[in-house]
A = this chain, B = another copy of it.
């Protein structure tokens, strides 16, 4: 059957379905196929064995909102506005009181896919702003089950409302009230809900013979971590592992569903995560970044290198392993390519089309830029990574127990002050030293050669960079989820306090 598909070639599958499985705070080291010592992800490992494993795949930001904005726009957060200028090199996201969100001027992947006849659905976390103008159905999605914010809580409905869960245009209830999460046991059936929603959507699309884009952005591995009753206590890794096992099981069910419906050879599936594991919550509420340095919030490898698997039976040769430097932004460009669409030409797109990599095993030369807020902290080209700025977090925060690099400390690298290295960047060879523990000697010829090359790429990048209007500067308690659309029907409208906009505080 494989030969037949090859004979037909990609042309015959002009508009394949696109399924992006985006994890939340899952680390490179959390999958068996990436070396997790408990090896409890048989379905994801199998997905890799049947598809292509990416070992050098990156997010565009070590934090969730900017990473997701980058994925859906194909652009760096510093371009699409998902950053802050309130402080230097600060990570920012979309908490309940954020005023900003995804600008109308940005073109999102689902908006573009509509032109090729796709039905677009988001299941799970949106995180690109929660005010009405930022609603995903105003930015190209046709359907939604999920939430605009993280599942933090529970809140008291006075100081702060509970986070809403939407079904399409309207709120269907709130976390902890209507969508339960038991913080004591970690029990919540949300992954099952999101799984069933995915299976139903896929069935419906298959029946109607409409191509679909499904963005399955589930969040069970984001603290507070949760799992359904049937998975609680089943992992060697505790609650976090239970959540991973449930996700692994769900991915297996989704892939089998595609196969049973006979559309697996017409559905491009990509699995990855929004940023590195949140070591600050580990081990009970956070995952593993394998051999890499530090985690979420940092521009070390542990903060930004992601597990990644492409799966498309009959098109992607089984068992492939790619060292292509990839990015979540490439999922934008690759999806457009799959749909036969051109990327927008009126703006800079940072993503590249990975199909030549995935289908023909090519390697495309391109750098990876590691941003933290408004600052380009580091650049990777080939196996070299140059740090122009280093910072983990402030000593003040660190002394409060906030540690993005627990058990790890590399002198002069995991610094607690913002250290500038723009004239003499810290250079690592990620092949010999994936853990960023041994900076190359400034005096070596190897250093000179590599830094010259990377600094050239940096200058080129900086010269053409037009930063977008920063969206994550202003916070206001009045814009919280007091009365989301549909709250009247549920009797869940809350009274917003008076508007009191101020600068958001971003300590990291």
Q: Which residues of A contact B (CB under 8 A)?
A: 29, 32, 34-39, 53, 55-56, 235-238, 240-241, 282-284, 288, 290-291, 293, 321, 323, 383, 406-410, 429-438
Contact = CB atoms under 8 A, between A and B. Distances in A.
A321 B39 contact: yes
A437 B406 contact: yes
A152 to B, nearest CB: 23
Contacts of A434: 37-38, 288
A41 to B, nearest CB: 11
Nearest to A38: B431
Main SS at interface, chain A: loop
Contacts of A32: 321
Given A55-B37, A406-B437, A431 B291 contact: no
A282 B436 CA distance: 12
A48 to B, nearest CB: 11
A395 to B, nearest CB: 16
Contact of A431 (B241, B290, B438): B241
A240 to B, nearest CB: 7
A56 to B, nearest CB: 8
A406 B435 CA distance: 10
A238 B291 contact: no
A284 B432 contact: yes
Given A406-B438, A433-B283, A435-B407, A55 B34 contact: no
Nearest to A34: B35
A238 B434 CA distance: 12
Contacts of A406: 410, 437-438
B408 A35 contact: no
A385 to B, nearest CB: 13
B290 A236 contact: no
A34 B34 CA distance: 7
B34 A241 contact: no
A487 B288 CA distance: 54
Given A290-B291, A431-B236, A437 B407 contact: yes
Contacts of A235: 431
Contacts of A407: 293, 408-410, 435-437
A17 to B, nearest CB: 29
Nearest to A35: B35
B410 A291 contact: no
A38 B36 CA distance: 16
A276 to B, nearest CB: 13
A494 B317 CA distance: 61
Given A407-B409, A407-B410, A408-B407, A291 B37 contact: yes
Contacts of A321: 32, 39
Contacts of A53: 39
